[in-house]
Amino acid sequence: MKLITSESMQKLEKRLVESYRIPTQLLMENAGRNIVEWIVGISAEKSWNQVAVVCGPGNNGGDGMVIARHLNLRYPSLPITIFLLGNPEKLKNDTALNYEICRRIGFSIQQVFPGNPPHFDPGTLIIDSIFGTGLSKNVEGVFREVIDAINEAKESLIVAVDVPSGIDATWGKIMGTAVKAHHTITLGIMKRGLVVAPAREYCGKIHLVDIGIPFDREKESIPQEGLLITPEFIRPFLPEKPFLCNKINAGVVMVVAGSPAMTGAGLLTCQAAYRSGAGMVIWATSPQLAPLVKTSIPEVVSTVLSSNGKNTQWKYLPHHAEEINKAIIQRKCRSLAIGPGLGSSPATRYFIERIIEKSPVRGVIDADALNAIATHREFWKNRLPGWILTPHEGEMGRLLQCSASSIAENRIAASCALSQYFGCTTVLKGPGTIVVSPEGEIAINPTGNSDLATAGSGDVLTGIIASLLAQGKSSFISAVTGVFLHGLAADLYQKKSHQLLASDIVTYLPYAIKVVKNCEYRLPIVDGD
């Protein structure tokens, strides 16, 4: 599903309105009427005693006034109050017209002044029509007061028109404060900022409605400034072994992960790689851990590395890098998964850098390997094409030399900056995981839930993406498909049980692949075309 920025949406609407000579009054009427049709459709979901339509001074406020009119036609006995944030004498164009219509009909219209925000009784349907997509500065004054009042409303149903007021619909930032809606009814085309954290938490369930512009005729001219990953998009890239296939051409993955204190990291990475379709998974490990590998995952092939000499505590050391890279060639590996559970000693960091620099294949860089890259980030500038980096916000902060909180404020911009700096594909993990290619392609993942915040979850994702890469998919497609399946496996598990473990994600991976392949899955956060 195409995603668009606020700026592009405004330009596109203006161009198509002029091209097709569609009156803007008609568009506002279509928007309001179709939103009411949707509200009528969910009326059984939650009853309400009254309606409060909170209108700003711009076009979004005009949409709200149209909604008030059509709700009145549907429910003539239902009390409806319009709360206007602005001077009615300064309203312009279509908004001014609809205000006058509402005034003549005799609606209760209350102008809201600073220091006196409205109070919403329990059982109120609240329509948020304060700001649309054009918000460019932090919310202040009476607008902030009203938004806070909406969020404090008890036992009410909050429906946001186009975007929850206070959200930057391009970047997904919260502009000081924002309405926390139960439903967001967005108009025409999906806005990019709605499906990425932190904005995603404020949107509730998102519904896409038509406003009368023939966007379907303009598919080629609509800019794709992001992609919401859908089952339809990833279906062609699912693991598939043809009839004439063997374990080598099915894809061989080399795993460099784990340590005596973190053996589970390597085990999870290997299991996930197999469950995602790899024909063979090889774990480069120590003489001490090799027996554990064979008993835990008999399918995994061990490449036993040399000893550490006099060191009693085995760990990856610089001289192992050459051994692993030789094994990659000998075993015909097509991808490398490196980082989970390796440790952070200076010798280990040096080993990581040596293996990545000289590796004959590309792969996934995660966890401790990311921190090794961050230590000498200038060296790696523009030197990681073909590689996939999978940081969380803390690791991203170290890679970009900024705070995790600044990453959280604008996850899209941070992901783009990382891909541009290193020349890599970036996977910024977290709610609404973001994938960005070196060319600037942006994809947002809609699957997954908070249960993924568990130890080992990232190790599983590393194995999935490395497996898809070994099967011949591009770095960007491997990452996009991998994050979708990873999140979907967690969603499927949540429907049956709670307290997700990372190993449960591995178990449910085949089911995730199956429901996508059989067209049995629909996105839970978006309704509409």
- Cα angle value 110/140/132 (rounded, 5°): 70
Q: Mark residue 155 as left, alpha or beta (left: phi above 0; alpha: psi -120 to 50; beta: remaining).
A: left
Say which CATH topology domain 248-259+266-295+316-519 has.
Answer: UDP-N-acetylmuramoyl-L-alanine:D-glutamate ligase (3.40.1190)
- Residue 261 burial (10 A CB sphere; 0-12, 13-18, 19+): exposed
Q: Are 6 and 199 in contact (CB under 8 A)?
A: no
The SS3 call for residue 96 is: helix
Q: Are 179 and 166 in contact (CB under 8 A)?
A: yes
Q: Which of 80, 164, 92, 169 is closest to 128 using CA atoms?
A: 164
Q: Are 48 and 123 in contact (CB under 8 A)?
A: yes
For residues 481 and 467, give the distance between their C-alpha atoms in angstroms, rounded to a whole number: 11
| DSSP states along 198-251 | TTHHHH-EEEEE--S--GGGGTTTS----EE--HHHHGGGS----SS--TTTT-
Residue 157's alpha-carbon distances to 64, 148, 160, 354, in angstroms, are 15, 15, 10, 57
Q: Are 475 and 387 in contact (CB under 8 A)?
A: yes
pTM of the model: 0.92
Q: Which of 79, 74, 81 is closest to 108 using CA atoms?
A: 81
**DSSP β-bridge partners for residue 245:** none
The SS3 call for residue 308 is: coil
Say which CATH topology domain 14-20+28-225 has.
Answer: Rossmann fold (3.40.50)
Q: Are 91 and 57 in contact (CB under 8 A)?
A: yes
Q: Which of 404, 6, 394 is closest to 171 using CA atoms?
A: 6
Q: What is the pLDDT along the chain (529 residues), one digit of tens a residue?
A: 899 999 999 999 999 999 999 999 999 999 999 999 999 887 655 678 999 999 999 999 999 999 999 999 999 999 999 999 999 999 999 999 999 999 999 999 999 999 999 999 999 999 999 999 989 899 999 999 999 999 999 999 999 999 999 999 999 999 999 999 999 999 999 999 999 999 999 999 999 999 999 888 888 888 889 999 999 999 999 999 888 899 999 999 999 998 878 889 999 999 999 999 999 999 998 887 788 778 888 999 999 898 766 655 677 888 999 999 999 999 999 999 999 999 989 999 999 999 999 999 999 999 999 999 999 999 999 999 999 999 999 999 999 999 999 999 999 999 999 999 999 999 999 999 999 999 999 999 999 999 999 999 999 999 999 999 999 999 999 999 999 999 999 999 999 988 899 999 999 999 999 999 999 998 876 665 4
Q: Domain residues of the chain, as ranges?
A: 14-20+28-225, 248-259+266-295+316-519
For residues 400 and 378, give the distance between their C-alpha atoms in angstroms, rounded to a whole number: 11
The three state secondary structure string of 430-482 is CCCCEEECCCCCEEECCCCCHHHCCCCHHHHHHHHHHHHHHCCCCHHHHHHHH
